[in-house]
Amino acid sequence: QVQLVESGGGLVQAGGSLRLSCAASERTFSTYTMGWFRQAPGKEREFVAAISRYGTVTYYLDSVKGRFTISRDNAKNTGYLQMNNLKPEDTAVYYCAAKADISDVRSVIKYDYWGQGTQVTVSS
Q: How do residues 3-59 score in pLDDT, each as one tens digit?
A: 999 999 999 999 999 999 999 998 888 999 999 999 999 999 999 999 999 999 999
Asked if residue 57 lies in contact with residue 51, where contact means CB atoms within 8 angstroms, the answer is yes
- Residues paired with residue 10 on neighbouring β-strands, in sequence order: 120
Give the burial class of 31: count Cβ atoms within 10 A of its Cβ; 0-12 exposed, 13-18 middle, 19 or more buried.
middle
Contact between 17 and 84 (Cβ < 8 Å): yes
The helix or strand, by DSSP H or E, that contains position 113, with its residue range, turns out to be: strand 113-114
Nearest Cα residue to 35 out of 114, 97, 81, 83: 97
Query: Any bridge partners for residue 72, and if so which?
Result: 79
Q: DSSP assignment of 69-101, as one string?
A: EEEEEGGGTEEEEEE-S--GGG-EEEEEEEESS
pLDDT (tens digit per residue) in 56-87:
999 999 999 999 999 999 999 999 999 999 99
DSSP letter at 1 equals -
What CA–CA distance (Å, rounded) separates 109 from 9? 24
pLDDT of residue 28: 84
> What pLDDT is recorded for position 1?
83
